[in-house]
Structure 1
Amino acid sequence: MTTAPAVTYRLSIKETLRCRLISRDPLIVISYGAPLGAPMQLGPYLTERKAYFLMGNWWSLLDERLLAQTKELYAMMTATYPLHRYIFLTNAPEENAALKRYGLPHYSCHHNAFLDERLFHPVPGVAKTMDAVYTARLSRFKRHILARRIPSWGLVYYYMPGPREPQEAYLRSLTRAMPGMVPCNRDRDTGLYRFLPAREVNRICNAARVGLCLSEAEGGNYATTEYLLAGLPVVSTPSEGGRDVFLDPDISRIVPPSAAAVAAATAELIARKIPAREIRLRTLVRIRDIRQDFIRLVASIHEQEGRADAFADRFDTVFTHKMFTAYDTPEDFLARHGLLPGQERKSA
């Protein structure tokens, strides 16, 4: 069994590895999760190889404590692995200024541009049975209660790791407070929770008239763009983390965090009857522009390393939904791509 080389405990992390091989020569890996999480896991195996790590994030990079911790880890990683390069991918323009202030390399690349547009799309003939839909985990920061004045809306939710009872108790409190809320993950026959794959979430979105985004801060928020790709206009509250990058004012509303404002904006967008195809087309244009920026970033690394590569032509062969695959261990990822030390190189 292959074991990782020794490395200081300060550079270790335990989380599911979520990454994607972008290029073999030069070695370029994109990842999502904790800042520098993937490089910490993969670095010990790649000490002798030059590698570029492009690190996306799921939370706002404007958190000063998070930035300070990231700066410290970045300094340790660059000292430990001098052949490795790190670029933080940002979801919001203001994050670039924050990272620059901390001396952290960065590049604008909103993670919502890596949603597979084939998974979320308008479905003709689906009856609109709900005024709104909200895809949000069972955490109070999602501020579900702001939807309480909407007559009917569906909640698509999932459980976070850890004890379920506090999350279930929160769901019960929401159900009592908002009779118009439909818990979409509840099986009609058994009443039990079931995880909904993207296809079913898309169907639920198509049964709603508006998508909701109600948190004050998080990350780029995949749900925002899932709604838009499905042809739904969006009602959002002001937030940090970058979801507003996709909120075209012609097809969305950003309103104060009050139940009255959320309900009024929802009613207004419903009354406008914006064609789903128009909403989706505007979103696809934004996705295309961000993907082109990402292609330019990868091309610039190849050029810097003196390698010829038509990445634009092979982007579709690299692309996958959310641009990562989950691996249980770094060995799994490295073996899959022939990158374990001493392993024969094979095609990705």
Structure 2
Amino acid sequence: MRKSLFAFALAETCYCCRTHWGVWLRMKFRLPSIGKRFWPSETRDDQPWTDDDWPIEDSFETVRGAFNLVFETSGVRIFTASLIDASHLWTPLLGEKDVVIFSDPWTSRLEIARAAQAAARFPENLYFLCNDSQSFYLRKRILRNASLVNQNCFLDENLFFVDDRAEKIYDALYNARRSKTKRHYLASEIADVMRLALIYPHHDNGWYDLEEDQLPKHVYRNKANLRIGQVAQVINQSSVGLALSESEGACFASSEYLLCGVPVVSTPSKGGRSFWYDDENALIVDADPHAVFGGVSALIKAPRDPHRIRAAHIALMLRQRQTFLDEVLAPIAARFSLADWDYRSAFHACDLLKEFGFKKDCWRNLDEIRRTLSG
């Protein structure tokens, strides 16, 4: 049986007790009054947490993240979830046969994963996917189950493809939310002498803190949301794709460029998008408008084979999916003796990107997660 429920972990409260049972008792009695917690400014890898690390504020706040029941077989329930600040609030509610696979929606902090695992009564049932080598090597020292599986491997490669008939009418394309964190200003020098195209979503203005008149000069921007096929068309009409934020998650737009055979100019970044880059498909340049302009110019002067870019990206995606099967689903099947569960077929029938992904109508609270877990 498969069902999907999107719920969001909520505002946070204090995490303190060092034993799982102690954490559960503390959580049980504190859940009705959830306060916002501010994370420590530095990751503490070598010592346990104390109450001082988890100060409480009396305000209430819900945060966005995914929590979905994806597989259910022989009494075992397998959930996907976004690893976000409040994850430790609901991991104590998980039963002995409840498994959670966490993905990183943004550049994650080590203490979030540590707290989620420490709060769980059955920490061996938590699996953490890491978008890049840095987060993987940090986490594997303190987490029971960590795997280097970048979330972009779950993209559907059939939705983005090389269109050999498309005319290159844009020198550079930046597909990014209209937010200051995306650093559109780094494309300003491109805009002065080249044809720049911009794509950004229009359905969630609450995320936007950059006015349209602050965008760099451009020859195209979408006036309304585009369908996937339309996004692929604009990508194919572009010579270079841009990825300019300093810190984010794995960056779907970056992989969408590559699946369309379009090379990327990126700034140094945290979060996992550089996991997919190599000497052929990308140039990583300084976070400076002139450097970004130089990278785009270099890729236009020395064009890459789009089919080689796409094929290499898909090959790495397939290796990552195999890692997910070998290091996550296979151990889960073995641990619970699910010999009759064809986890490979279940995986191929499941849209994991959707299950891990953020949904705009998924503001939830801890009571809803509790109801989901209680069945």
TM over 0.5: yes
Counterpart check, 1:310 vs 2:342: yes
- Provide, for residues 243-288 of structure 1, a one-character-per-residue CA deviation record: whole Å limited to 9, x for no partner: 1110121121111112222112212212222222111101100100
Counterpart check, 1:153 vs 2:196: yes
Question: Equivalent residues in 2 for 1:50-89 (5 A)?
Answer: 50-61=97-108, 66-76=109-119, 78-79=120-121, 82=122, 85-89=125-129
Question: Equivalent residues in 2 for 1:141-220 (5 A)?
Answer: 141-150=181-190, 151-158=194-201, 163=206, 167=209, 169=211, 171-174=212-215, 178-179=216-217, 181-186=218-223, 194-220=224-250
Contact in 1 for aligned 2:102/2:127 (Cα 8 Å): yes
Residue number in structure 2 paired with 1:189: none
Contact in 1 for aligned 2:117/2:123 (Cα 8 Å): no
Contact in 2 for aligned 1:210/1:266 (Cα 8 Å): yes
Q: Distance in 1 between matches of 2:239 and 2:254?
A: 14
Q: Distance in 2 between matches of 1:315 and 1:70?
A: 24
Unaligned stretches of 5+ residues in structure 2: 1-6, 8-26, 36-60
Partner of residue 159 from structure 2, selected from 105, 110, 119? 119
Q: Distance in 2 between matches of 1:152 and 1:20?
A: 45
Counterpart check, 1:279 vs 2:320: no
Partner of residue 84 from structure 2, selected from 15, 21, 34? 34
Counterpart check, 1:133 vs 2:145: no
- Relative to the length of structure 2, the TM-score reads 0.73
Q: Distance in 2 between matches of 1:53 and 1:88?
A: 8
Contact in 1 for aligned 2:131/2:271 (Cα 8 Å): yes
Q: Distance in 2 between matches of 1:141 and 1:216?
A: 7
Following TM superposition, by how much is the alpha carbon of 1:321 offset from its aligned partner in structure 2, in angstroms?
4.2
Relative to structure 1, is the Cα distance of residues 162 and 213 closer, same or farther in structure 2, using a 3 angstrom cutoff? closer
**Size of the alignment, in residue pairs?**
312
Question: Equivalent residues in 2 for 1:237-316 (5 A)?
Answer: 237-296=267-326, 297-308=328-339, 309-316=341-348
Contact in 2 for aligned 1:53/1:84 (Cα 8 Å): no
Q: Distance in 1 between matches of 2:171 and 2:69?
A: 37
Contact in 2 for aligned 1:130/1:154 (Cα 8 Å): yes
Following TM superposition, by how much is the alpha carbon of 1:74 offset from its aligned partner in structure 2, in angstroms?
3.5
Relative to structure 1, is the Cα distance of residues 334 and 73 closer, same or farther in structure 2, using a 3 angstrom cutoff? closer
Contact in 2 for aligned 1:114/1:323 (Cα 8 Å): no
Following TM superposition, by how much is the alpha carbon of 1:332 offset from its aligned partner in structure 2, in angstroms?
9.1
- Relative to the length of structure 1, the TM-score reads 0.78
Unaligned stretches of 5+ residues in structure 1: 187-193, 343-348
Q: Distance in 1 between matches of 2:118 and 2:205?
A: 32
Instruction: Tell me the percent identity.
Output: 27
Relative to structure 1, is the Cα distance of residues 322 and 244 closer, same or farther in structure 2, using a 3 angstrom cutoff? farther
